[in-house]
Structure 1
Amino acid sequence: MELVLERGFTALTVEDITERADVARATFYAHFRDKEDLFARVTSDLLAELGERLAPAVADSAVGFTGKPVLEMLRHAREERDLYR
């Protein structure tokens, strides 16, 4: 994420990623097809984490809407601000 914030996603190369992560290109390609696949995985993981955090907040309640889901989304965005940017 640091590299994306520094250089922008378009300018970023797999070589940049592997150098920063101190892993071999072969290791990168053992897990991801390309940088877009890595981005998709990061995004998917972020959304899955958010879903897990929201589940208890959106559970059926006799009270109705409490605002807790919105609060939890904002907390998640604050904690993961670089990923959201």
Structure 2
Amino acid sequence: MSDTPVEQMTFEQAMKELETVVSKLERGDVALDESIDLYTRGADLKKRCESELKRAEEKVAAITLDASGQPTGTKPVEGL
């Protein structure tokens, strides 16, 4: 597992580590205490990925288009 705090990870970093965590848990060859730690880390990573996806969706939704469908800029989005 990475030493990077989950809240500082990019979407890609969090997703890659989440895949590693899931793989370890699915194999079932880790001790109970480590499984609990992995599950907790995985839950935090999942939450981070969901948060980053929501933020990206909000940015995409803020793109404004002209009459021909071409991007003309962005409109302000609260909280970004």
TM-score (norm 1): 0.36
* Structure with the greater alpha carbon radius of gyration: 2
Structure number with higher helix proportion: 1
Structure number with higher strand proportion: 2
